[in-house]
């Protein structure tokens, strides 16, 4: 584990983008392609703002994302497909993008995504950390044992409140209770993991991840077992350390 602290979210996002670019370009040189896994949410804004301006041959990049609400069409303001299209795909054209369709058959979506993601490892995974220490929508207590790649989960109350706090919904009652998410196991199969975790609201989660033992009650603690994990913080998210 490597921990980096920046003065502002802007500097954090710029550094994360540069690191991700170096790793992807290295994969392209060595393999002829790179596979990128993306988080969504407010904490990833500055990363995306810089990523779209990096010197990357996107025709050799395949993109996955972590999760999606079940039953959500992509025109819903909180849809993660909408998020990815607005912040990445309208600016760059990857070779292939594997989007989680929350309106399709859940079983068929999981079958398709599993087949595709298991073909080759993810080279660079951008893994945000939730206020309850979730990674993707693996809320506590997270399933550390499943070897599935994608599963259906029920979102816990604090996770749903976070979605309201970030402005995606007006109240908790509007936040779906179920989602498709990439599993902890599949995330940990990634070659390199970068976690952008800015803002004061994440300070307690950051403290828990760093100071607690690895436990499903604080899912992001599992990242400490990954051989190539960098946690990028700003002064506010690091304020309790």
Residue 102 belongs to domain with CATH number: 3.40.50.1360
Residue 216 lies in a domain: no
Residues with Cβ < 8 Å from 18, sequence gap 6 or more?
50, 54
Q: Is 62 helix (H, G, I), strand (E, B) or coil?
A: strand
Whole-number Å distance between alpha carbons of 207 and 238: 8
pTM comes to 0.94
Is the predicted pLDDT of residue 152 greater than 90, yes or no? yes
Give the model confidence (pLDDT) of 91-138 as tens digits: 999 999 999 988 888 999 999 999 999 999 999 999 999 999 999 999
Residue 210 lies in a domain: no
Is the predicted pLDDT of residue 195 greater than 90, yes or no? yes
Is the predicted pLDDT of residue 78 greater than 90, yes or no? no
What local confidence, expressed as pLDDT, does residue 157 receive?
84
Closest to 222 in 3D by CA, of 189, 196, 173, 200: 189
Is the predicted pLDDT of residue 8 greater than 90, yes or no? yes
> Where does the pLDDT of residue 162 fall: very low under 50, low under 70, confident under 90, or very high at 90 and above?
confident
What local confidence, expressed as pLDDT, does residue 72 receive?
81
Closest to 182 in 3D by CA, of 133, 118, 95: 118
What local confidence, expressed as pLDDT, does residue 183 receive?
98
What local confidence, expressed as pLDDT, does residue 202 receive?
97
Residue 155 lies in a domain: yes
Q: Output b/e per residue, 5-17; b: 16+ Cβ within 10 A.
A: bbeebebbbbbbb
Domain count, the chain: 1
Is the predicted pLDDT of residue 88 greater than 90, yes or no? yes
Residue 43 lies in a domain: yes
The residue-averaged pLDDT of 124-153 equals 96
Is the predicted pLDDT of residue 209 greater than 90, yes or no? yes
Residue 220 lies in a domain: no
The residue-averaged pLDDT of 135-153 equals 96
Is the predicted pLDDT of residue 166 greater than 90, yes or no? no
Contact 63, 88 (CB under 8 A): yes
Residue 213 lies in a domain: no
Residue 66 lies in a domain: yes
What local confidence, expressed as pLDDT, does residue 13 receive?
98
Is the predicted pLDDT of residue 188 greater than 90, yes or no? yes
Burial (0-12, 13-18, 19+ Cβ within 10 Å), 124: buried
Q: What are 175's two structure tokens? A: 């936040």
Residue 240 lies in a domain: no
Residues with Cβ < 8 Å from 86, sequence gap 6 or more?
none
Whole-number Å distance between alpha carbons of 61 and 36: 7
What local confidence, expressed as pLDDT, does residue 225 receive?
98
HSE on the CB side for 68, CA within 13 Å? 29
Cα 56 to Cα 18, 53, 143, 166: the distances in Å are 11, 9, 35, 30
Whole-number Å distance between alpha carbons of 141 and 155: 11
Range of the domain at 96: 2-198+225-233
Give the model confidence (pLDDT) of 26-75 as tens digits: 999 999 999 999 999 899 999 999 999 999 999 999 999 999 999 888 88
Mean pLDDT of the chain: 95
Burial (0-12, 13-18, 19+ Cβ within 10 Å), 213: exposed
């Amino acid at each position: 584990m490597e921990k980096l602290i920046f003065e502002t979210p802007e500097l954090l996002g710029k550094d994360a983008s540069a690191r991700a670019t170096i790793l992807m370009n290295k994969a392209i040189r060595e393999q002829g392609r790179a596979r990128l896994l993306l988080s969504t949410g407010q904490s990833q804004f500055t990363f995306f703002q810089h990523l779209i301006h990096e010197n990357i041959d996107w025709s050799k990049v395949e993109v996955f994302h972590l999760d999606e609400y079940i039953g959500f069409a992509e025109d819903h303001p909180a849809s993660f497909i909408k998020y990815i299209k607005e912040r990445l795909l309208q600016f760059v054209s990857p070779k292939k993008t594997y989007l989680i369709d929350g309106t399709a058959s859940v079983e068929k979506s999981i079958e398709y995504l599993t087949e595709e993601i298991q073909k080759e490892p993810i080279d660079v995974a951008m893994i945000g950390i939730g206020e309850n220490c979730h990674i993707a929508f693996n809320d506590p207590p997270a399933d550390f044992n499943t070897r599935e790649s994608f599963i259906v989960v029920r979102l816990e109350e604090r996770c749903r409140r976070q979605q309201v706090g970030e402005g995606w919904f007006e109240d908790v009652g509007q936040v779906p209770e179920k989602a498709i998410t990439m599993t902890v196991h599949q995330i940990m199969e990634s070659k390199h993991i970068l976690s952008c975790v800015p803002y004061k609201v994440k300070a307690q989660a950051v403290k828990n991840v760093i100071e607690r033992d690895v436990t499903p009650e604080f899912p992001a603690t599992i990242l400490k077992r990954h051989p190539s994990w960098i946690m990028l913080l700003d002064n506010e998210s690091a304020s309790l350390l």
